[in-house]
Structure 1
Amino acid sequence: MNERTVTPGSVGVRYGIITGFISIIFSLILYVTGLHTNKAVTYIGMIIPIAGIVLAYNYFKKENNGYMSYGQGLGIGTLLATVSGVLSSIFAYIYLKFIDPNIIEQIRNSSIEEMERNGMSDEQIEAATSMTEKFTTPEMMFIFGLIGAVFLGFIFSLIIAAIMKRNRPEFE
């Protein structure tokens, strides 16, 4: 009996690596083109982990006779998001720290422009800017990027696993 089985862990890691590299390519394109300050474009990046989770679930189900429990789906998606988040956060850290540190200044300037458009006073902008500077270092962006990726991946997994689960019949 040479039946090939896949585990939620193996699928989560495999698709986490794939999703992470696609996220890195997307980030690189945003950095190089200067679109990293355009919030609408950066939100498009949310499609990447969603697509990664859906593809991972489909692969897992195909390899397991069409079945995937809710728990398996949640585990696959969360692991995928963690692996992907680690990879893309490491890339962002290296890029922002060593390759193009000016991007952080561009992000800060963009947020100041947005605050001005929203009618904030100079004092409010100054207070917000001093707080923002503490959180826009490559190190803090690494930490928040990783936490954000895992949290969003978990939320996406909760929803997508509920939709795509297909439990094995109890009396089979």
Structure 2
Amino acid sequence: MASSRVSWTNIALKYGILVGVAHIVYFLLMGLLGLHDKTEMSFLSAIFLAIGICLAIANFKRRRNGTIDYFQGLAIGAITGVVSSTLLALFMVLYINLFDTSYLANLQTSALFPQSLSMLSLFALTIIYGLIPGFLMAFVAMQWFRRADHSMTERV
């Protein structure tokens, strides 16, 4: 594949979907372990986002023969965050409506969310909680990946 034909949007979408699936699996695992009432535990899923963004940027840089534009890296992070959090938000709406209507009430009693939290605001907040950290994580990651001495190929 020619390096000029590599699309950063396709890579961001792919890793966004993978991270979104990881978020959903983590959410379900928390439910199985009875940890849904520990809202703070859900923020640990940011680890999945950080790993996904770094892998996406590294994949893009490798497929572009070691070159990456700074703003492309930021966009990869933001889009990966939005896609993954949108998948999680859609899943949360389905989960709350079909399986556990009390989950929204648990979030409302948490100090991390307002008591007036609605389904729509939960959906929007979930996406925002993916976009902003995704952009910030990409900003931090790009400090490493933009360096010319950071090579994505093996050195012999």
TM (normalized to structure 1)?
0.76
* Pair member with larger Rg: 1
Q: Which residue of 1 aligns with 2:56?
A: 56
Distance (Å, rounded) in 1 between the aligned partners of 2:57 and 2:50: 11
Q: Matched residue of 2:68: which SS?
A: coil
Gaps of 5+ in 2: 149-156
- Whether 2:145 is the aligned partner of 1:152: answer no
Q: Matched residue of 1:35: which SS?
A: coil
Query: Contact (CA 8 Å) 1:67, 1:166: kept in 2 or not?
Result: no
Deviations 1:85-126 (A, max 9, x none): 1111101111112211112233344x3xx7xxxxxxxxxxxx
Distance (Å, rounded) in 2 between the aligned partners of 1:164 and 1:38: 35
Q: Which amino acid aligns with 1:101?
A: T
For residue 114 of structure 2, the aligned residue among 127, 132, 147 is: 132
Task: Report the count of equivalent residues.
Answer: 147
TM (normalized to structure 2)?
0.83
Q: Which amino acid aligns with 1:142?
A: F
CA shift, 1:40, in A, is 4.8
Distance (Å, rounded) in 1 between the aligned partners of 2:108 and 2:86: 24
Distance (Å, rounded) in 1 between the aligned partners of 2:95 and 2:72: 34
CA shift, 1:133, in A, is 2.8
CA shift, 1:39, in A, is 4.6
Q: Which amino acid aligns with 1:30?
A: M
Q: Which amino acid aligns with 1:92?
A: M
Q: Matched residue of 1:66: which SS?
A: coil
Structure whose residues are more often helix by fraction: 1
Q: Matched residue of 1:37: which SS?
A: coil
Gaps of 5+ in 1: 115-130, 168-172
RMSD: 2.2
